[in-house]
Structure 1
Amino acid sequence: MTMSGRTENEKGDITLLGNQHTKYNYDYDPSVLETFPNKHPDNDYFVKFNCPEFTSLCPITGQPDFATIYISYIPAERMVESKSLKLYLFSFRNHGDFHEDCVNIIMKDLIKLMDPKYIEVWGKFLPRGGLSIDPYCNYGKAGTKWEQMAWERLSQHDMYPETVNNR
């Protein structure tokens, strides 16, 4: 056992958590993402991340876009380590892409990384020019109940939008 109470095997390949010499990459970098073993793979449960300080660049004007990114997933065998996720999301800072592309890229990178049972990514971008854009994407593992859940959540998405009072 280590001082953290986890064995080296339980920590997996985590190198960023607890590292006092963190380097921030200002260019899109999915290689910074790390995982660790899910200790409860037989349980179905959501893990949700809220990133209220997401920034990327408009690919046409180069102006910054600001958003809150919500990531919810049901893990299978692997889980994303939160510090690596923060550094990954930070790496979009100088990335030029449309809002819709950013949320789909995030989702696809996390699917490739973890192979979750289910995942959804929702970006709530602050308005520019009087218009806000809130792209949503999701995925459920093919051939499982999660594939049907993904379709149901997508088809019912935003049927009853929340009250937006912060923008």
Structure 2
Amino acid sequence: MTERKDVEDLSHLGSEQTNYTFSYNPSVLETFDNSHPNRDYFVKFNCPEFTTLCPKTGQPDFGTIYISYIPDEKMVESKSLKLYLFSFRNHGGFHEDAMNVILNDLVSLMDPRYIEVWGKFTPRGGISIDPYVNYGKADTRFADMAAQRLMYHDMYPEKIDNR
């Protein structure tokens, strides 16, 4: 059985001394216990100010990251997630890699029932890139859900006129 992590154990939330890490740093992520592990429900984060660097040119890439998950026993604390996403600021990585790294780190951290990460990046060179990645816990209905959502995730794409 995992040790219970109470709100009092969180180090970032409520701290008046926020330390920003300018290099990729998954160690800032923190969890707390899900108060409703008997229920399936989505938690969604919209992160409209995500920044990372092109690994080839070093130019900044800007995007909105959408993270949706169905928690199991643990949940990610939002301020720690903000600090984690900020740590990509000087990280060189392609958009597709960044989304997979975020997903992998959050799966390792929380072991959620289901999670998806979708990046919608502003265009550079006349093209925008919107990578989507998801995960469903193996041998559960959430693995089937992940396969279905991946297959149909962008059946009705938005008209791109605001980026």
Give the TM interval when normalised to the shorter protein: over 0.9
How far the C-alpha of 1:126 sits from its partner, in A, is 0.3
How far the C-alpha of 1:163 sits from its partner, in A, is 2.5
For 1:143, the equivalent position in structure 2 comes to: 139
Aligned equivalents of 2:65, 2:8: Cα separation in 1: 26
For 2:43, the equivalent position in structure 1 comes to: 47
Q: Can you list the C-alpha shifts for 1:69-116, whole angstroms capped at 9, x where unaligned?
A: 000000000000000000000000000000000000000000000000
Aligned equivalents of 2:113, 2:134: Cα separation in 1: 11
**Which of structure 1's runs of 4+ aligned residues deviate more than 3 A?**
none
Q: Which amino acid aligns with 2:147?
A: W
Q: Taking structure 1 as reference, are residues 32 and 9 closer, same or farther at Cα in structure 2, changes over 3 Å only?
A: closer
Q: Taking structure 1 as reference, are residues 12 and 118 closer, same or farther at Cα in structure 2, changes over 3 Å only?
A: farther
Partner of residue 163 from structure 1, selected from 154, 159, 163: 159
Q: Can you list the C-alpha shifts for 1:14-61, whole angstroms capped at 9, x where unaligned?
A: 110000001100000000000000000010000000000000000000
Q: Taking structure 1 as reference, are residues 34 and 9 closer, same or farther at Cα in structure 2, changes over 3 Å only?
A: closer
Task: Confirm or deny that 1:127 pairs with 2:123.
Answer: yes
1:93-108 to structure 2, matched below 5 A, reads 93-108=89-104
For 1:24, the equivalent position in structure 2 comes to: 20
For 2:7, the equivalent position in structure 1 comes to: 11
SS of the residue corresponding to residue 52 of structure 2 reads strand
SS of the residue corresponding to residue 162 of structure 2 reads coil
SS of the residue corresponding to residue 158 of structure 2 reads coil
Aligned equivalents of 1:9, 1:163: Cα separation in 2: 43
For 1:35, the equivalent position in structure 2 comes to: 31
Please tell me whether the aligned partners of residues 56 and 64 of structure 1 are also in contact (alpha carbons under 8 angstroms).
yes
Please tell me whether the aligned partners of residues 13 and 34 of structure 1 are also in contact (alpha carbons under 8 angstroms).
no
Structure 2 portions without partners, runs of 5+? none
Q: Once superposed, what is the RMSD of the aligned Cα atoms?
A: 1.2
1:51-130 to structure 2, matched below 5 A, reads 51-130=47-126
Structure 1 portions without partners, runs of 5+? 1-7
Please tell me whether the aligned partners of residues 5 and 32 of structure 2 are also in contact (alpha carbons under 8 angstroms).
no
